[in-house]
């Protein structure tokens, strides 16, 4: 599933193309792409056609394009990429993409006519026209937005560690009240957003923390070190365009990311730990897997 770096790469690619663009037409090819939309496909098309996109914003793994007009109830086109969703920029009249679900034709003041294509092989992703609601803390809704608003469907999602409004002290306080293993807490999007399985494993390896370590047992120093490593991992992944293991994650131009070549723990089962040389192990975790070094990341008592 695309995590924060992958979604941010998509957001950054979309923003210069869609900011100020007028939506000239919308074509829904598969209504399964609208599972989060409250309404029919024809209502989705009508709600967007003729509107102007203000920009592109993101909180955690949620991406949205704020729409101009209707100030009494601000709205945005919200996108959740799910397991395999892609937002692609194409020239007008370009052939239909494989697994294309929705096509949005826009007229950009900078780039002229373009098509924003939502393609999704597994159909777990979705688009929706959603109301923008005030943020609980009064700060901008997310990365790329100056408006203190967030889509209603993402209002429960916590800020991510790269968000300027992320509160480090609040995160540390949340850890003190959690008996769950620290990896489970990192994956809880209501506590901290944007961190998925890959980057949780990588940050825990860098911080020398076993994934099953109870969150409440982390000292203030350990919590600060973990948060610093989370940010370092996410920023490095961003710089390398995200992580691509197959053709399902690509940026808006269809290009893959390269962070897979920089992984230290995730997906390296049996290979030597880059730090100590012992083999990386893999264990089952929440219908997924955890990868860690049992020497560098000592298990807590009773684990």
Active site members: 2-3, 61, 288
Nearest residue to 125 via CA among 63, 82, 61: 82
In 135-191 the beta strands, taken as DSSP E runs, fall at 149-151
Burial of 86 (0-12, 13-18, 19+ CB in 10 A): buried
Write the CB contacts of 289 (distance below 8 Å, at least 6 apart in sequence).
197, 282, 283
Nearest C-alpha neighbor of 280 from the set 289, 236, 288, 181 = 289
Q: Which of 133, 74, 123 is nearest to 102 (CA)?
A: 123
Maximum Cα interatomic distance, the chain, rounded to a whole number of Å: 62
User: Which pair of structure tokens corresponds to residue 130?
Assistant: 């959603």
Phi and psi angles of residue 66, each rounded to the nearest 5 degrees, phi first: -60, 140
Task: Find out whether 176 and 216 touch, Cβ atoms under 8 Å.
Answer: yes
Binding residues for DNA: 99, 122, 178
Helices 220-239 & 168-176 angle (0-180, nearest 10): 120
Query: What CA–CA distance (Å, rounded) separates 14 from 68?
Result: 17
How long, in residues, is the chain? 303
CB within 8 Å of 140: residues ≥ 6 apart: 146, 147, 148, 164, 165
DSSP SS3 for 142: coil
Contacts of 30 (CB under 8 A, 6+ apart): 101, 102, 123
Contact 175/192 with Cβ under 8 angstroms? no
């Amino acid at each position: 599933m695309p995590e924060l770096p992958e979604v941010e790469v998509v957001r950054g690619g979309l923003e210069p193309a869609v900011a100020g663009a007028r939506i000239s037409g919308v074509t829904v090819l598969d209504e399964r792409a609208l599972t989060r939309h409250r309404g029919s496909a024809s209502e989705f098309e009508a709600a967007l056609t003729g509107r102007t996109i203000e920009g592109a914003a993101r909180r955690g793994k949620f991406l949205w394009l704020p729409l101009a007009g209707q100030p009494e109830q601000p709205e945005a086109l919200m996108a959740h990429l799910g397991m395999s969703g892609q937002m692609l920029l194409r020239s007008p009249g370009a052939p239909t993409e494989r697994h294309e679900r929705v096509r949005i034709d826009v007229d950009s003041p900078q780039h002229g006519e373009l098509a924003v294509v939502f393609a999704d092989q597994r159909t777990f992703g979705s688009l929706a026209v959603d109301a923008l609601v005030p943020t609980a803390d009064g700060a901008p809704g997310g990365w790329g937005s100056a408006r203190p608003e967030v889509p209603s469907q993402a209002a429960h999602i916590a800020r991510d560690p790269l968000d300027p409004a992320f509160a480090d002290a609040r995160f540390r306080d949340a850890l003190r009240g959690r008996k769950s293993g620290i990896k489970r807490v990192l994956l809880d999007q209501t506590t901290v957003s944007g961190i998925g399985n890959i980057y949780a494993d990588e940050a825990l390896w860098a911080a020398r923390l076993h994934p099953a370590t109870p969150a409440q047992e982390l000292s203030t120093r350990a919590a600060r070190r973990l948060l610093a490593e989370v940010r370092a991992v996410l920023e490095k992944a961003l710089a390398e365009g995200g992580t691509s293991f197959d053709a399902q994650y690509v940026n808006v131009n269809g290009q893959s990311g390269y962070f897979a070549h920089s992984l230290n723990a995730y997906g390296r089962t049996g290979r030597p730990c880059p730090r100590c040389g012992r083999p990386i192990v893999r264990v089952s975790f929440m219908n997924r897997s955890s990868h860690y070094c049992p020497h560098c990341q000592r298990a807590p008592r009773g684990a």
